[in-house]
């Protein structure tokens, strides 16, 4: 099942997504007629794992981490599918990274890896936008629209052994399989839960495969994870959007 949220003139509605519609307890809403898809959950925290694919370790000449290397993006960085990614005026180097995301279903802490699947609502996609020329992860990754998430949450998915790709303006930039992760999704959920209480709706992004790269205003980005769907966004100059 695909779980989606739709922004309507009256507010957000939530339900299951099917064939271009969101079906709720109150009826059926047609996407792009009755509203637009919003990010599919409202996390208190977005946890992001770095250096978690063998390919990116080799490409960037990183040391292989002995435990998951994580950082946090704020809720205010969120934006939804088909919404613009703002290219800030204070940076000259913005990058993309296509990542698989688990959405937590219930409050939990100190979870064992074998119990993690029962605590995951489903999976969605994050584009980990990064102003690479800034100092420190928070300055680079926390700005508005730096966390596009969507298009929905797929509840029926085994996250292991699935293919992904990132396409920019029709050109494939990333291609990988989640089996190339150093720490698998269940290990990561367990690790984080032993350090932070995880809340319903919280997002855990499992890191980028090799070949994250730069983007410019006008670029159209498509990130696809097999069995989940495709997250699409277009980069715009921040000065082109009214404040």
pLDDT band per the 50, 70, 90 thresholds, residue 65: confident
pLDDT of residue 181: 95
CA distances (Å), origin 37, targets 4, 79, 114, 122, 168: 7, 10, 33, 17, 21
Give the number of other Cβ atoms within 10 Å of residue 176's Cβ: 21
Question: For residues 17 and 5, what is the distance between their CA atoms, to the nearest angstrom?
Answer: 9
173-221 residue pLDDT tens: 999 999 999 999 999 999 999 999 999 999 999 999 988 899 999 999 9
Please give the model's pTM, rounded to 2 decimal places.
Answer: 0.96
From 71, 11, 79, 70, select the one nearest 39 (Cα to Cα).
Answer: 79
Q: How far is CA 51 from CA 59, 70, 99, 122, in A?
A: 11, 9, 12, 23
**CATH code, 40-240:** 3.90.850.10
CATH assignment, 1-38: 2.30.30
pLDDT for residue 241 is more than 80: no
Q: Residues 29, 30, 33, 37: is their CA dihedral positive or negative?
A: positive
**pLDDT tens digit sequence for 81-108:** 999 999 999 999 999 999 999 999 999 9
Residue-range domain boundaries for the chain: 1-38, 40-240
């Amino acid at each position: 099942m695909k779980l989606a949220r739709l922004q309507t003139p009256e507010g957000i509605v939530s339900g299951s997504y099917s064939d271009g519609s969101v079906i709720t307890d109150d009826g059926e809403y047609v996407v792009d007629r009755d509203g637009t898809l919003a990010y599919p959950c409202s996390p208190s925290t977005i946890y992001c794992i770095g250096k978690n694919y063998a390919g990116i370790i080799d490409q960037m000449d990183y040391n292989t981490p002995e435990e998951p290397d994580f950082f946090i993006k704020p809720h205010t960085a969120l934006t939804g599918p088909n919404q613009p990614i703002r290219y800030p005026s204070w940076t000259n180097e913005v990058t993309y990274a296509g990542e698989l995301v688990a959405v937590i279903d219930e409050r939990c802490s100190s979870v064992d890896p074998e119990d993690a699947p029962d605590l995951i609502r489903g999976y969605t996609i994050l584009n980990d936008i990064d102003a690479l020329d800034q100092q420190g992860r928070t300055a680079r990754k926390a700005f508005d629209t730096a966390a596009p998430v969507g298009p929905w949450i797929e509840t029926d998915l085994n996250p292991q052994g699935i293919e992904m790709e990132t396409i920019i303006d029709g050109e494939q930039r990333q291609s990988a399989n989640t089996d190339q992760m150093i720490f698998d999704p269940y290990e990561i959920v367990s690790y984080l839960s032993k350090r932070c209480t995880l809340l319903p709706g919280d997002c855990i992004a499992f890191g980028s495969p090799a070949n994250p790269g730069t983007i410019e205003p006008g670029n159209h980005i498509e990130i696809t994870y097999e069995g989940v769907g495709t997250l699409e966004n277009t980069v715009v100059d921040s000065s082109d959007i009214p404040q």
